[in-house]
Amino acid sequence: MKRKSKSPGKQPQGVETTPVRIYSLEVSLLWISMSGRYVERKPSVSRTIQILGDQTLQDLHGAIYQAFERWDEHMYEFQFGKGPEDRRAVRYGMPEVFEDVWDSAMLPHGRVDLATLDSLKLAVRNVFFYLFDFGDEWWHKIKVKAIEEASPTGEFPRIVNKVGECPPQYEYDEDDGEYHWGSDEDE
């Protein structure tokens, strides 16, 4: 959820603004299982996002979703481990995952709507991972570039830098004029 911070100049007289942590996160696209043509080119695609410490992983998902120009919602999770698909990673999932529990061993550690950035005890240079769309597997590496204490102004989270062009969420086939879901292997 975007949140607009009050400008320090607009505070009532005698009221000080409380500094909060502002995290600068570099989100890099690692790979996509569905798009063979994109993966073959392997262009560098990253976005730097600033987010407040009291905002949640769900807020971060929304910023990544916007930053990478997605338009069709899917399930997602954040993983804190040695790499993508680390079986020992601490995972944070969507609230819906906790509603249909058929195997408690498969449950994530926590919920994205409750875990704030501050609660994760992140430090500069820490790396964690974000998986968007469990079918097409859009894997992202998130690196903590900076953490600063400041009185924020403007809306957060926000995209502050873009590198590279985002691949389309789905492949568009000019021959038949349709978007195709799933990997090329399915054809």
Cβ proximity of 20 and 152 under 8 Å: yes
Banded pLDDT at 147 (limits 50, 70, 90): very high
**Domain CATH number, residue 67:** 3.10.290.30
Cβ proximity of 50 and 142 under 8 Å: no
pLDDT at position 8 over 50: no
CA 21 centroid distance within chain: 18
Give the chain's domain count.
Answer: 1
Banded pLDDT at 19 (limits 50, 70, 90): confident
Asked if residue 13 belongs to a domain, the reply is: no
- The beta-strand segments (E) located in 68-151 are 76-80, 90-93, 110-111, 127-132, 138-150
pLDDT at position 49 over 90: yes
Mean pLDDT of the chain: 79
| pLDDT on residue 176 | 53
Cβ proximity of 167 and 39 under 8 Å: no
- The CA-based diameter of the chain, rounded to the nearest angstrom, is 67
Torsion of CA 71, 73, 79, 82, to 10 degrees: -50
Q: Which domain holds residue 150?
A: 18-186
* Burial of 172 from C-beta contacts in 10 A (0-12 / 13-18 / 19+): exposed
